[in-house]
Each structure stands twice: as structure tokens, then as C-alpha cells.
Structure 1
Amino acid sequence: MAAEREHALAALVMFRKFDPPVFDGEKVEPWMVESWVDSMETLFEDLYTLERDKVHLATRCLERKAKVWWKWIKRDRSSDLPPLTWEEFQGLLFTNYFPDSEKKKLQEQFRKLKQGNRSVGEYEREFSHIINCVPDVVRDDRDRADWFERGLRPDIYRAVHILKLTSFAKMLDRALWAEQGNAHVREEREAFERDGGKKRAQSGSRAQSKSRKSPKYPRTQSKGRRPQRCAICGGNHVPRACGKREGKCFTCGQAGHIS
């Protein structure tokens, strides 16, 4: 008995040296429970913690509402039952702070998740966050990659879909590269359109300035042809058609000669 107490104390002292995270049970989001449990398991692995010590050490990190919850669990549990295993403790913790109703909400959110106007990095963070909370939404790494691909924006989806990638890490890497390439093409196009607009504006202004300049040689206004006036009678007809010509000159209208 004394040896067990000494072992438990030594394990607790070593555990606390690594400053384990606390869980207070207040304003809890699903990811907080997952994150705390993951931190505990990582620390257990680093310290080679025995299975029988895990619940004892983890419950020393409970505070406030979570500590009260644990007291109620211990009180309601029969003394005839064996100590809780780490797996059983997690089950009770998740049932209380991450019920099935919340899991279903996240599962539905995961199925509808799309990149939208977000960057690939922002989309990936929410995608991975939901998987961390409800790991059973994907079967394996390939399934994770497929789900991620389905939610990508169409322009990025087209770029990665033809590659037939089966690894999530490769899928994420290619999606990031596609996003960067699309951004470069968009910048080049916008720069071209800006430069083209400037050239068109300059060309238009030059054309307008040329049109405003007066011509070097002024144009003579065309005049309509006036009807020929008769030299004999002054009428609006040619002299040859004049009824008063009587041998008079067609040019000067005088008698004695004919033009």
C-alpha cells in the first residue's frame, strides 16, 4: 500500500513538471474537449504513463465546473466497481460536454462545408477542426482527401481533380499551389487590362487633339453652279436659246458680229 502511494506521488510530481493543461468545463466548445484529451494523451505517451495512472493524473487537471462534475461522478459510482479506465473516463467526459446532438450538428456541418470565398488555408483549418472533433466523419486519409477536394472552389477543384491525388497532404499542397497560380494569373490579367486602358485613353486623346487642329490648307467651300445669264436679254438661259438674239453676238450681245 505504501509502495503504491509512493508510486502515485512520484507519477503526479513528474506529471506536474510538464505543466499539463487544465479543463474547467465552462463555456465549453466541442473542440476544447478534444484538444484537452489530445494534450493529455500526448503527455501520457511522453512520460510512459501506466494505464492505471491516467485517470488519476488527468482528474488533477480538472477545475471549477469540471471538478464539480467529477466529484458527482465519483459519488454516484459504486465502491464495488473497479476504478475507471482512461477510455471509460473519456466516454463520460464526452457524453457530458460533447453530447451526440452536438456531434450530429458538426457532422452535418462537415458534409456541407465549402471553401467559398475563403483562402485554402482558412478552409483547411475549419475542415481539420471539425475532423478533430468528430473523427468518424472520415474513414481514412484518402477519404479525408476526397472530402477536402469536394469542398474546394471550382477553379481550384479543376486544377487538383485531374491529378487523382489520394493523400490529404498532397491534396492540400496542390490546392495551395493552384491558389497561388490563380492569384498570379489574375494579377497579370488585371495589370494588362489597366495598361490597355491607359493606351486606349492616350490614343483617344491624341486623336481628339488632332481633330481640333485647324487644317494647314483651308478648304474652299464648294459652290453650287449658278444658271448662266443671257448676254443678250439678261434672262436665265444661254444666249443661243434667246429669242431676241436676231444676229447679235452670244458673248457681248452686240449686233454686227457673232461669237
Structure 2
Amino acid sequence: MSFNQSSQDMMNTMPVDGSGNNGISTLRASAQPTQAGARLVSTRPALFDGTVEDNAVRMWIMQVQDCISLLELQGCLSSETEKILYAANSLTGSAKEAWAIERTKLERTFNNAASPELQRNLYQQLTLEGFLEWIKTEFEDINAKRKRQKDYDNCVQGKRSVGEYLIEFSKFAERIEPPIPEDLRTEKFRSGLNREVLNRLSLVPDEPQTLRGLARFADKIYSRYLEDQAMERASKPMQDRPKSSKKGSYQNQGNSNQGQSNQRMEFLKKCRRENRCFKCGQTGHRSSSCIVTVPNERRLTLIEESTQSQGNGQDRS
């Protein structure tokens, strides 16, 4: 009936208030008992006008819950009706208009109840939790809700430890509403484990069925995997290990490139003197009209041959 909840989901343990009123008919009353009026005025959440951007309704609900918790400790609010009225006094704009419509529906339902017993049941179903859930549903930021779902769907372990993955996964899962059942949450967490863990986990006949148990087991598997990797690297001979890119290797590469460049220059000079093609090294045509595609290996061979022949010529001279 109210706040988008069925009668089976409503709480039915709250007694009728001390005044004998059955609650719903007093939703237009003030939520400021005279003995605690000053405290209620000084402890109030910010006004909420129905803004849907930037999770405004969620921030307002958290403020309401904090204020009511403090006032309960001070003995200022005793019934669910008083808590609802206290929260509703901080509504303004479109949020206040929406509450006025919902409140009228509640009062009409109560007044049309066939018996005092039914009226009592209606009153017992009216809770602060239901009121706040209704407000959140009315003014939920759709974009923020989609982002929370996307964050949850895309959460995977990657290169992180299982513990770090669990912390972020749990944070994203808690933001999803309605709450995700434990078995589905565990299945999603398992699918987000990295390949190394999943490959080893698939060999286990009886893996844990709870999220916390699975996380502990996966953490042991991943720790063992990292230890095996470290031992494998330590057991390899130095020559089989990946070479680190040190400064000397860059210098050697630079010297090699410089040597090939010098050989190429000598080859081009020889071709120019003997009217040979710069590409294939043959006579009778220019490089611009050369139709022969010479592989890089062959070019290097030509360069070496031309250099050697030049050296032999110098020896003969």
C-alpha cells in the first residue's frame, strides 16, 4: 500500500502510540514535542527540494538518519510517526509536493479501513524506513544508479591481490539496490578473479560456496602462484633470464646502427662512381626505374661485398 511495499513486507510489531491515536490520521501534525522542541530545532538535516543530480537524495537520507539516531539517544522521538514527520519537515519544493500527495493517499486508505483492527494494521505498517525508501525511489539519480551498476559489473581482480579486489568488489556491491543475493554475489566475485586463480580454482573439487570463504581460498591460491613464479625465476640461469634494458645495450645498438650506416654510405659512393643502381647494385639502369625488389638481407650482402671489394682495391693500389 504505502511506500511501494506490500503488506507482507511491512513491519507489524509497532504499538499504538500513547495518546491512543492510530498514527496515519496525525500525519499533518507537528513532529516537535514540547519537552524536546529546542533539540529538534537545533538538530535538523538540510532541506531537500527533490533534486535528482549528484545523489542528492542519498546524501539527504544519510543526514536524516544521523539526526534521528542522535535524537533517539536523547529521548526526543519515540514513534515511527514522529520520525516520519520530523523527516518530512525538511522537505521543500517538488519533494514536499510529492509527499503531500502520498500522505493524502495514506490518510484516505486509513479512513476507508473497514474495522479498527485493519486501521491498527495500517498504522503498524507505517515506518521511517519505508518513508525513506519511498523518497529515494521517487528522486533517485538514474545516471548515478547506472554508474553504480557499471562499476559493479566491471569490477575484476586484474593484477591486484585478492584482498584488494574483495574490498572494492564489496564496496560496489553494497551500492546496488535492491541488495544482491549472496549466491549471485559470490558467483560474480568468482568470475572476476584473474586467469591464474580461475585455472587453479577449477581443479578444486569442493570450492567454498560463500563469498568470504571463496575469497580466503582464492587468496591462498594466488599467494601460492606468486611464490611459484618467484621460485621459477630464481631457478633460471642468468643467460636464460630476460635481459634488462641497460644503458650499455643502447650504446651497443647505437654503435651497430652507426656501422651499418657507414657501410651503406660506402655502397652508395661505389654505385655513384661505377654508374650502378642504388637499389640492386646492377649496371644499365637507375634506381628510379629499378623493377627489382631486393630483400634487406641482400642489400646488406651487397653493402658488405662492395665494402670488401673497395678494401681489396685499396690493397692492390
TM-score normalised to structure 2 length: 0.42
The structure with the larger Rg is: 1
TM-score normalised to structure 1 length: 0.50
Which structure carries more relative contact order (alpha carbon 8 Å, separation 6+)?
Answer: 2
